[in-house]
Amino acid sequence: MEFKFSEQEEAFKKEIEDFLKKELPAGRAEMSMHWPGGYGSMEAASKEVLEAAFKFRRKLAEKGWLTISWPKEYGGVEHSYMEQAIYDERISYYRAPGMGIATGIAGPTILRFGTEENKKDWIAPIARGEIEMWLGYSEPNAGSDLAGIQTTAVEDGDDYIINGQKTWSTIAHLANYAWMIAITDPNAPRHRNASLFIVDNKSPGVTIRPLINIVGVHSFNEVFFDNVRVPRRNMVGEKNMGFYYMMTALDFERLMVGVGGFRRLFEQFVEYVKQSQRDGSPLGKNPMVRKKLAEIAVKIELVYLFFWRTASMLDKGLVPSVESSVLKLTATELSRALADVTMEIMGPYGQLMGGTEEAPFRGMAPRGYLDCISATIGAGTSEIQRNIIAMRGLGLVKK
């Protein structure tokens, strides 16, 4: 069977590439220090970079590409999901700022489950690229089992009062709003006791403290909510349906794997290998090096295959619940495999961090080695993905 794009899809791919080559700063893809799949080396972790990202996203919004498959009445252009996948792949390949939490996760979830009031309040500014959000899921005692959250939201007239703590809150210090879950009925059964909220970071009682990650970047935070008053209209959809909505939101997040970034980084590393020598012999002629690089190349093609398959399912009206977990698992495990191989091929030189004059491959190897672990944890650990595949995909019974 031959897989290829239609003429329309090829034309759209070229349109995206022409736009990116014109609008992005020269050499951006080569200068990027983000390790594909990782959360710790995200380049939006500074005010200056985020402002530049917002500016670029507004250009994407003008073309309708931030909401590429959304209905026209909500600011979209109704492209197919395959065309959205092509867009996502090219954006990540060129290391350009693409969809964030607001456009990639919150917006689609609001369109599917939100009230008309939710859509009126949030869809337009999200579509215009005017706001960004952070995910308020994890807590000190609730990660993989999010039913263990303790943050509460108590009704008080036309508001809810939120108390609690969130952690590992990526770019919370730079975003505008929290997309968060909180307990709204402590007496209800697990998974039927929580609701999704959108909370303004500027609300009195919100305190954001930095968590410097293993790469030395301020990408994470811990966020405290002390009697934070949130309008009732900021609840997404129905009360106590938050876990069900969040499962769909997580499916959207797991589709944001940035497959193009893996290919771009791999191509850069292969070029490095071609030009390097060890003990007077070209590194690229070493049979073990060639074998390991070939194995990574196969894994990249496998991730691409799952990526295109997921887009195809969406275009057919199918729900890729299992497939999104397969895609997330293979992509984030690829992040670790790629880091392991780069470190192994470089040997002792791979320990030299960026900024060191002798650091090969711009110091990306140790950066990726440290950051790739986060890829297999965020949006659900690899173990969680395997459980989903086993139970939903293979019909195996949970012990």
**43 band by pLDDT with thresholds 50, 70 and 90:** low
For residue range 125-176, what is the model confidence (pLDDT) as tens digits?
999 989 999 999 999 988 878 888 999 999 999 999 999 999 999 889 989 9
Domains and CATH numbers, the chain: 7-127 (1.10.540.10), 133-240 (2.40.110.10), 249-393 (1.20.140.10)
**46 band by pLDDT with thresholds 50, 70 and 90:** low
Give me the mean pLDDT over the 254-273 stretch.
91
**DSSP classification of residue 24:** S
Biggest CA-to-CA distance, the chain: 76
Q: Is the pLDDT of residue 335 over 90?
A: yes
**248 band by pLDDT with thresholds 50, 70 and 90:** confident
pLDDT of residue 47: 67
What CA–CA distances, in Å, run from 240 to 61, 114, 188, 237?
33, 13, 9, 9
152: enclosing H helix or E strand: strand 152-156
With CA atoms as reference, report the closest residue to 211 among 166, 243, 245.
Answer: 166
Residue 348 φ then ψ, to 5°: -60, -30
pTM: 0.90
Q: Is the pLDDT of residue 106 over 80?
A: yes
Kind of pairing between the strands at 133-136 and 177-183:
parallel
**29 band by pLDDT with thresholds 50, 70 and 90:** confident
Listed in sequence order, the DSSP H helices in the chain are: 7-23, 28-31, 47-62, 81-93, 101, 107-113, 116-127, 242-254, 259-275, 287-315, 321-346, 364-375, 382-388
**DSSP classification of residue 142:** B
pLDDT of residue 136: 96
Let me know: does 197 contact 177? Beta carbons within 8 Å: no
